[in-house]
Amino acid sequence: MSTSEIAELRRTIGQLRQCVGALRSRYGDASAVRRLANDVERLDIDTADLDGTPLAVPAQAKAAERVPVPDTPYDPALWHGADDEGVGGYKRDQR
């Protein structure tokens, strides 16, 4: 693609992003709006691949961190008095 075609594509993606933002303000976090926003991001990623320039990482993606989950068992006291799902009080205290 030529430089002018890439520039036009980026401008159009920017307009799409604005439209999706307007839809989000009107319809909230509806699944259709999320899919549209995802599609716009994919277009931006694919355009960067065609252009050969690295894509800037969105701020919210930078803030996301991994949360370690330990392999050790939970303290049994956390489950004291809880029913097993589907069993209906199998281990309920009988006082």
- Quick: pLDDT tens for 22-41: 999 999 989 999 999 999 99
Amino acid in the structure at residue 30: A
Task: Assess if residue 60 is contained within a domain.
Answer: no
Q: Which domain holds residue 14?
A: 3-52
| Predicted model pTM | 0.52
Would residue 64 count as lying in a domain?
no
Q: Is residue 16 part of a domain?
A: yes
- Contact between residue 22 and residue 40 where contact means Cβ atoms under 8 Å apart: no
Q: Cα separation of 58 and 42, whole Å?
A: 13
Residues 57-73: tens digit of each pLDDT = 555 555 567 878 888 88
The answer as to whether 20 is a domain residue is yes
Q: Looking at beta carbons, which pairs linking 70-75 to residues 24 or more positions away fall under 8 Å? A: none
**Assigned domain for 27 exists:** yes
Domains of the chain: total: 1
